[in-house]
Amino acid sequence: MPSPTLWSRILGRLLTSLVVAWASVTAAFLALHVLPGRIEDILAGDVDTPGLREAIAAEWGLDRSLPEQYWAFVSRIVGGDLGTSYVLRQPVREIVGSQLWPTVQLALTAGVLAVVLAVVVALLTAGRGRLSRTVASALELVLASTPVFWTGILLLMLFSFTLRWFPVSGGNGWQALVLPSIALALPTAGLLAQVLREAIEKTLDQPFVTTVRARGVAELTIRARHVLRHALLPTVTLGGWLIGGLLGGAVITEKVFGRPGLGSVTLGAVLTHDVPVVLAVVLLAAFVHVAASTLLDILYLLIDPRLRAA
């Protein structure tokens, strides 16, 4: 049963996350105002139609005082209004909404794949014979050091152009999801497996493992029942990094495979200086990141009773 201290820690963690989310919105607002040049010009991007600057100034209330503008900015974002893209002449919310799913699909599939791969490899190779460990750690190093786009290109070369098993590009059907997910998952899996295996080996050296062995518990049971939980702790702290890496990697992967999605939209927006879109995507990614790492931290609290102590 969760103790009062546990609840207060969870609540505290949630509050911190809210503060961070609010601060990232504030940072975005400040960035707009600190940058040289008029805000109208920054927001308009590469478009220059007569009357646009005045329209932007009216929409963003640029004639009002700074605190008023700030308040309006924060309340709009809280209300889910992400502004308008003057380049695409469409509300940002619609643009993001229509492209969100393919990216989420890609990141989720890759994330699950990476975690499963890493756990299996780490559990099977940690603390085993020298050879399997050397091979596994060399493989992990190579995977973690290979850029996503190169893995993608190699996969394309092999499976799409040579073997013709999967489509070269596009976003339709599960076939189009296979190669991008693998490309995105491999580097993450490599790094995750490295961390996990090191943690498992560290745990296997703990005195309590000897105690458990002295109770006659089988080696595999020891790993599953005792060691894995300990090894997950350092991995959970990597969770935030993992989410960020998957979101960022998704942008690159989409470009390699010509997949539609948030990445292509963002990339296009960056090149046309479509600030409202880029800002919205970045803030959205930050919110996802904050929410995910908050959940993971709470999970951490649940796994480790020592953190619940007063």
Partner 1 sequence: MRADVQDDAGGRPLLVDVQGLSIGFAPAGAPIVQGIDLAIQAGECVALVGESGSGKSLTARSLLNLAGDGARVEARRFRIRGQDARAFREVDWRWLRGTVTGLVMQDALVSLDPLRTIGQEVGEVLSEHRILRGRRAIDARVIEVLGRVGIPDPEIRARQYAHQLSGGLRQRALIASAIAGEPDLIIADEPTTSLDVTVQAQVLEVLAQRVRAGAGLLLISHDLAVVGGIADRVIVLRDGRVVDSGTTADVLTRPRHPYTRGLIDAIPSFASRGRRLGPASARSPDRIAPLRHPPPARDDTVVLEVRGIAKRYARPAGFGRRALATTALDDVSFDVRAGEVVGIVGESGSGKSTCARIVLGLLSPDSGTVRLLGEPWSRIRETERRRLRPRLQYIPQDALSSFDPRYRVSEIIAENLAGLRPAARAARTAELLEQVGLRDDLAGRYPRSLSGGQRQRVSIARALAAEPALIVCDEPVSALDIGIQAQVLDLLCDLRARLGTALLFISHDLGVIQHLADRVLVFHHGRLVEHGPVGEVLTTPADPYTRTLLASQPRLEYGLPRHAH
Partner 2 sequence: MNASTHPSGEATAALAPADLVGLDAARIGVAPGRRTYPPGIAAAALFLAVLLAVAAAPTLFTGYDPLTGNVLEGLKAPNWEHLFGTDRLGRDVFARTVHGARYSLLIGLGGMAISVVAGVFLGILAGLRHRLLDEGIARVFDVLSSFPGVLLAMLVVTFLGQGMVNIAIAVGIAGIPKFGRVVRAQTQLVRDADYVTQAAVYGLGRGQVFVRHVLPNVLVAISVIATVYVGSTILTVSGLSFLGLGPQPPTPEWGVMLAESRDVLRVAWWPAIFPGAAITLTVIAFSTLGGYLQKRFEGRLA
Which chain residues interact with partner 2 by CB under 8 A?
Answer: 16, 19-21, 23-24, 27, 31, 35, 42, 141-142, 144-150, 153-154, 156-157, 161, 207, 240, 243-245, 247-249, 251-252, 255-256, 266-267, 269-271, 273-275, 278-279, 281-282, 285-286, 289-290, 293
Report the nearest approach of partner 2 to the CB of residue 287 (Å).
Answer: 8
Measured CA to CA, the distance from residue 211 to residue 176 in angstroms comes to 50
User: What are φ and ψ of residue 291, in 5° steps?
Assistant: -65, -45
Q: Judged by CB under 8 A, which stretch of 68-76, 117-125, 136-144, 218-226 contacts partner 1?
A: 218-226
Q: From residue 194 to residue 213, what is the string marking binding to partner 1 with x (rule CB under 8 A)?
A: ------------xxx-xxxx
* Angle between helices 92-125 and 239-257 in degrees, nearest 10: 110
- 144 contact choice in partner 1, partner 2, none (CB below 5 to 8 Å, kind-dependent): partner 2
Position among 8, 49, 172, 175 found at the interface with partner 1 (CB under 8 A): 8
Q: From residue 11 to residue 50, what is the string marking binding to partner 1 with x (rule CB under 8 A)?
A: xx--------------------------------------
Q: Of 34 and 310, which has the nearer Cβ to partner 1?
A: 310
User: What are φ and ψ of residue 253, in 5° steps?
Assistant: -60, -40
132 is a site residue for partner 1 (CB under 8 A):
no
* Interface size with partner 1, residues (CB under 8 A): 29
Position among 217, 282, 288, 295 found at the interface with partner 1 (CB under 8 A): 217
216 is a site residue for partner 1 (CB under 8 A):
yes
Measured CA to CA, the distance from residue 205 to residue 226 in angstroms comes to 12
Q: Judged by CB under 8 A, which stretch of 5-13, 49-57, 116-124, 236-244 contacts partner 1?
A: 5-13
Report the nearest approach of partner 1 to the CB of residue 217 (Å).
Answer: 5
Q: Which residue ranges make up the site for partner 1 (CB under 8 A)?
A: 4-5, 7-9, 11-12, 206-208, 210-218, 221, 226, 229-230, 303-306, 309-310
